């Protein structure tokens, strides 16, 4: 029990230490860019894993990131609000839209849920791309999005400052979602993922739990989207299309959906791999697809479970060695 209680503290502490150490090691803009992208992806994958924890793969998750991004960009550029206000307003818009979408999609399961969320994702992408071009930028994209600006005398316009902001946001999300996963909500969500009908017969309101995870995950995705818009300063509908959604699924599944730490490992490993494969960008999705297939074949529980599997294998080998030695000494 003590080990279970110490695990989230140690994990969060390790992420915080790594995030705080990087700026002390290097100020190179490229490495800070990559690290900021890792933290942004980590925020997104952990929110996606929250939804997966109830047994549902939401193919529209990347769309709620886009909704938060476009909402914040428009509120800043057209209405004149501050980034610090739209940071939460953009995420709130994504969460509010997630309520009716989730209420409809979660009434079904399996391929029907997949198709509904996928269809919504395509509708959102086409809406940003083809409608109200004067507002959303159309195929050319939305440009001229300002950086966050000042807060309490601090200026957030350089790479180190933006990295620090993303690190703080990511740590807030990690602490909240890890705490949620180790709470009664997380245990109930795991039970729903394994056998939702059994959980319902025991009195669990399965729909309410699934909708709560759907809306909370969409809120965090919107939060990541707001930062993405003001970090990149340009938005295109393709940023929230099928390919980034597939990559999000790959990051999460390769890391392991059975543990809250799976997305951490998957995001770090695969984001670094993406940078190494930058020259092979057109083949990147094929490489990741192959890695996903191999992971499902040889490590179905994800990279996060490899250490445990290795320890169990060593214990079996150690137990087998004395048994064989004893058999050899028998008359």
- Specify whether 255 is located in the same domain as 178: no
Higher per-residue confidence, 116 vs 262: 116
Residue 323 in this model has a pLDDT that exceeds 80:
no
**Ranges assigned E (strand) in 153-309:** 154-156
Report the alpha-carbon distance of residue 10 to residue 306 in Å, rounded: 19
pLDDT of 249-291, one tens digit each? 888 888 887 778 888 888 888 888 877 777 766 777 777 777 7
The mean-pLDDT minimum among 112-126, 205-219, 286-300 falls in: 286-300
Task: Examine the domain organization and report whether 224 and 269 are in the same domain.
Answer: no
pLDDT of residue 3: 45
User: What is the rounded CA–CA span in Å between residue 132 and residue 38?
Assistant: 32
What radius of gyration do the chain's Cα atoms show? 22
Question: Where does a domain end: 223, 240, 257?
Answer: 240
What's residue 276's pLDDT?
A: 78
What is the pLDDT at residue 310?
58
> Which of 205, 221, 240 lies at the terminal end of a domain, its last residue?
240
User: Do 63 and 111 fall into the same domain?
Assistant: yes
The number of residues making up the chain comes to: 331
Mark whether 222 and 255 lie in a shared domain: no
How many structural domains does the chain have? Answer: 2
Q: What is the mean pLDDT of residues 102-109?
A: 90
- pLDDT at position 329 is 46
Whether 145 and 281 map to the same domain: the answer is: no
Task: Give the whole-number percent of the chain exceeding pLDDT 70.
Answer: 88
Q: Identify whether residues 201 and 257 lie together within a single domain.
A: no
Dump pLDDT digits (tens) for 70-100.
999 999 999 888 899 999 999 999 999 999 9
Backbone angles phi and psi of 106, in degrees to 5:
-75, -5
Say whether both 266 and 118 belong to one domain: no
Q: How confident is the model at residue 319 (pLDDT cuts 50, 70, 90)?
A: low
Domain co-membership, 136 together with 56: yes
Claim to verify: residue 257 and residue 231 sit in the same structural domain? no
Do 142 and 11 lie in one domain? The reply is: yes
Q: How many CB atoms lie within 10 A of CB 243?
A: 13
Q: What is the pLDDT of residues 18-47, one digit of tens each?
A: 888 888 888 888 889 989 999 999 999 999
The pTM score is 0.87
Mark whether 215 and 266 lie in a shared domain.
Answer: no
Q: How confident is the model at residue 324 (pLDDT cuts 50, 70, 90)?
A: low
Rounded to the nearest integer, the mean pLDDT of the chain is: 84
């Amino acid at each position: 029990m003590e080990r279970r209680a110490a695990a989230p503290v140690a994990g969060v502490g390790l992420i915080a230490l790594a995030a705080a150490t990087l700026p002390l090691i290097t100020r190179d803009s490229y490495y800070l860019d990559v690290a900021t992208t890792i933290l942004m992806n980590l925020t997104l994958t952990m929110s996606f894993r929250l939804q997966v924890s109830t047994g549902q793969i939401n193919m529209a998750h990347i769309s709620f990131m886009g909704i938060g991004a476009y909402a914040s960009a428009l509120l800043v550029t057209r209405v004149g609000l501050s980034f610090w206000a739209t940071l939460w307003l953009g995420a709130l818009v994504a969460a509010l839209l997630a309520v009716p979408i989730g209420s409809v999609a979660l009434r079904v399961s399996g391929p029907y849920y997949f198709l509904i969320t996928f269809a919504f994702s395509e509708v959102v992408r086409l809406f940003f791309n083809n409608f109200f071009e004067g507002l959303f930028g159309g195929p050319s994209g939305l440009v001229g999005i300002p950086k966050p600006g000042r807060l309490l005398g601090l200026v957030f316009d350089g790479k180190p400052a933006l990295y620090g902001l993303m690190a703080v946001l990511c740590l807030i999300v990690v602490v909240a979602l890890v705490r949620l996963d180790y709470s009664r909500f997380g245990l109930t969500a795991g039970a729903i993922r394994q056998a939702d009908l059994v959980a319902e017969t025991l009195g669990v309101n399965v729909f309410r739990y699934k909708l709560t995870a759907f809306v909370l995950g969409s809120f965090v995705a919107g939060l990541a989207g707001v930062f993405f818009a003001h970090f990149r300063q340009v938005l295109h509908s393709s940023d929230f299309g099928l390919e980034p959604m597939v990559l999000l699924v790959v990051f999460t599944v390769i890391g392991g959906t059975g543990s809250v730490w799976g997305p951490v490992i998957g995001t770090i490993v695969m984001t670094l791999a993406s940078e190494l494969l930058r020259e092979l960008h057109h083949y990147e999705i094929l490489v990741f697809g192959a890695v996903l297939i191999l992971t499902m074949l040889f490590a179905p529980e994800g990279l996060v479970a490899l250490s445990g599997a290795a320890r169990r294998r060593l214990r079996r080998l150690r137990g087998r060695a004395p048994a064989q030695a004893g058999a050899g000494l028998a008359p």
